[in-house]
Amino acid sequence: MTPKDGYESVIGLEVHAQLLTASKAFCGCSTKFGDEPNTNVCPVCAGLPGALPVLNTNLVEFALRMGLAVNSTIAPRSTFARKNYFYPDLPKGYQISQYEEPICTGGSVEIDLDDGGRKKIRLTRVHKEEDAGKLIHDIGAGTLVDLNRSGVPLLEIVSEPDLRSPKEAYLYLHKVRQIVTHLGICDGNMEEGSLRCDANVSVRKKGQAGLGTKTELKNLNSFRYVERALEFEVDRQIRVLEEGGSLEQETLIWDANRNIAYPMRSKEEAHDYLYFPDPDLVPVHVDEPWIRRVRAGLPEHPTARRDRFMKEHHLPKYDADVLTSEKGYADYFEAVVKALGSANPDDAKSASNWVMTEVLRVVGEQKLEIGKFPISPARIASMIRLINDGTISSKIAKDLFAEMLQSADDPKVIVEKKGMVQLSDESAIRKVVDEVVDRNQAQVEKYRAGNMKIFGFFVGEVMKATKGKANPAIVNSVLKKKLEGVRTP
């Protein structure tokens, strides 16, 4: 037992999700990522004096979707506040956020633990706010500012300190990502900054009730970093305590290149936030009919969908997890199953295998959105039918799949055009087997001497001679008869 085993970590996450609204939170500027710097800017988001913000209703709509999906309490009346601080990427000198009266309070996100159990992570609140601009340090001598991101709407999702390990924090973040992408309110792309995460971390002796001194860890901008950064900080805190030192409440920045967290230079970065109600924005009133309408339009919760895939389609948990990790994957899989029109669990499993291996491989390699994948679910279904009725082997199906990526033709047409039909004629196969056996007498001797492994060599030769088209089951049975015949003349 190491000293570390005597401790547990207490972690809470603040996740910022950039919302997929077409325009910014309080003006009509586009939110498109990657546009020329400072092209999506107007007097409102540039913070010019006298410019007045107007609330984008979709921001409320998206916040309601999230709040209802995680069982938050929706406030009938919520207000906006100004979070005042000075920073060069913040032209107004304040950020519009929510403070005393957020739109959603409470709720929870359920995570799946490694031992098969589930754990509810309570949420403190979900509130709306706007993003700041972006400073660019690596072009030319000075620092440049791009205000395209200024005013882009965010949801801040704040958890209670219910996470007990860096692993749990990682699982929680995954689940939050899964929920926001299923709801269609955020693309979940951490690398592009659509999902950002800060953490509050403290440690305490196991069994201790009170909380230890916490630090805030910022800049956890990739799934890979979150767990690693938290492990670093938890280890550091335990080491300080074990050496008899005391911890300071401070903000740390994670440096992914050096694998360390270092304290923020306090004078430069520490914000002494001052909040007050924003006099330019009226309170938001949400009534019951609005909540009912949003609730009725909510897609199936990813966890419920995962469980349904296991029950209805008899998929293993692993498959169901992968397929529901993104709404698009789950939709695609279900479209294949629907096109197959079969209640046979084997067909659902084939559909799952093709989506998980070939479809997602190409999607990953070409960095495609699944919605833009060139092969429709209906064509995958007809390919699976061709395998099921013996027209093609699974081996040929791989080649067919590659052809389908290039051609919009029906798989049946491609199979005919390219002569991919499986060779199932037993007498034709027997002829090839005879030739292969005649040609390879030395191997036949070895087989006769009891080297059964040599059987695979004969199968390979027959497949080579038929360009992979021979039906493997027939090849096996014909070969077996032939070789047994040779062994005992």
CA neighbours closer than 13 Å in the CB half-sphere of residue 165? 11
Query: Would you give the distance in Å from CA 54 to the centre of its chain?
Result: 33
Cβ closest to Zn ion, residue 29 vs residue 238 = 29
Residues 454-473, mask of contacts with Zn ion (x by CB under 5 A): --------------------
Which residue type occupies 197?
A: C
DSSP string of 365-389? Answer: HTT--GGG-SS-HHHHHHHHHHHHT
Whole-angstrom distance, CA of residue 147 vs CA of residue 82: 19
Whole-angstrom distance, CA of residue 202 vs CA of residue 237: 7
Stretch that binds Zn ion, among 34-42, 54-62, 66-74, 400-408 (CB under 5 A): 34-42
Residues 233-272, mask of contacts with Zn ion (x by CB under 5 A): ----------------------------------------
Radius of gyration of the chain (CA): 30
Q: Which of 276, 275, 281 shows the shortest CA–CA distance to 52? A: 281
Whole-angstrom distance, CA of residue 201 vs CA of residue 163: 10
The neighbour count for residue 391, using CB atoms within 10 Å, is: 20
Q: Which of 180, 131, 99 shows the shortest CA–CA distance to 25? A: 131
Closest CB 25 distance from Zn ion, rounded Å: 9
Q: Which two three-digit tokens encode residue 42?
A: 């107007």
Is 470 strand, coil or helix?
strand
- Position 27 contacts Zn ion (CB under 5 A): yes
Closest CB 194 distance from Zn ion, rounded Å: 19
Closest CB 24 distance from Zn ion, rounded Å: 5
- Position 42 contacts Zn ion (CB under 5 A): yes
Stretch that binds Zn ion, among 38-46, 65-73, 117-125, 283-291 (CB under 5 A): 38-46
Stretch that binds Zn ion, among 19-27, 197-205, 326-334, 432-440 (CB under 5 A): 19-27
- Position 29 contacts Zn ion (CB under 5 A): yes
DSSP string of 127-171? Answer: EEEE---EEE-SSSSS-EEE-TTTT-EEEEEEE-S-B-SHHHHHH
Closest CB 51 distance from Zn ion, rounded Å: 9
Cβ closest to Zn ion, residue 91 vs residue 212 = 91
Select the residue interacting with Zn ion from 45, 241, 400, 429 (CB under 5 A): 45
Cβ closest to Zn ion, residue 29 vs residue 68 = 29
Stretch that binds Zn ion, among 28-36, 185-193, 238-246, 438-446 (CB under 5 A): 28-36
- Position 147 contacts Zn ion (CB under 5 A): no
Closest CB 146 distance from Zn ion, rounded Å: 13
Closest CB 128 distance from Zn ion, rounded Å: 17
Stretch that binds Zn ion, among 41-49, 125-133, 192-200, 380-388 (CB under 5 A): 41-49
Closest CB 303 distance from Zn ion, rounded Å: 37
Cβ closest to Zn ion, residue 25 vs residue 383 = 25
Q: Which two three-digit tokens encode residue 206?
A: 């196991």
Residues 281-310, mask of contacts with Zn ion (x by CB under 5 A): ------------------------------
- Position 55 contacts Zn ion (CB under 5 A): no
Stretch that binds Zn ion, among 45-53, 60-68, 239-247, 460-468 (CB under 5 A): 45-53
Q: Decide if 104 contacts 127 (C-beta within 8 A).
A: yes
Closest CB 53 distance from Zn ion, rounded Å: 9
Closest CB 148 distance from Zn ion, rounded Å: 9
β-strand 215-218 against 251-255: which pairing, if any?
parallel
Stretch that binds Zn ion, among 20-28, 332-340, 370-378, 407-415 (CB under 5 A): 20-28
- Position 51 contacts Zn ion (CB under 5 A): no
Closest CB 278 distance from Zn ion, rounded Å: 16
Cβ closest to Zn ion, residue 147 vs residue 203 = 147
Cα–Cα distances in angstroms (integers) from residue 295 to residues 70, 153, 298, 306, 483, in the given order? 11, 21, 5, 20, 67
DSSP string of 36-101? Answer: PTTSS--TTTTT-TT------HHHHHHHHHHHHHTTPEEPSEE--EEEE---TT-TTSEEEE--SS
User: What part of residues 349-378 is at the interface with Zn ion (CB under 5 A)?
Assistant: none
> String of b and e for 365-390 (b: at least 16 CB within 10 Å)?
eeeeebeebebebebbbbbbbbbeee
Closest CB 132 distance from Zn ion, rounded Å: 13
- Position 152 contacts Zn ion (CB under 5 A): no
Cβ closest to Zn ion, residue 45 vs residue 70 = 45
Cβ closest to Zn ion, residue 147 vs residue 483 = 147
Which residue type occupies 314?
A: H
The neighbour count for residue 206, using CB atoms within 10 Å, is: 9
Q: Decide if 27 contacts 133 (C-beta within 8 A).
A: no
β-strand 195-205 against 215-218: which pairing, if any?
antiparallel
State the residues that interact with Zn ion by CB under 5 A: 27, 29, 42, 44-45
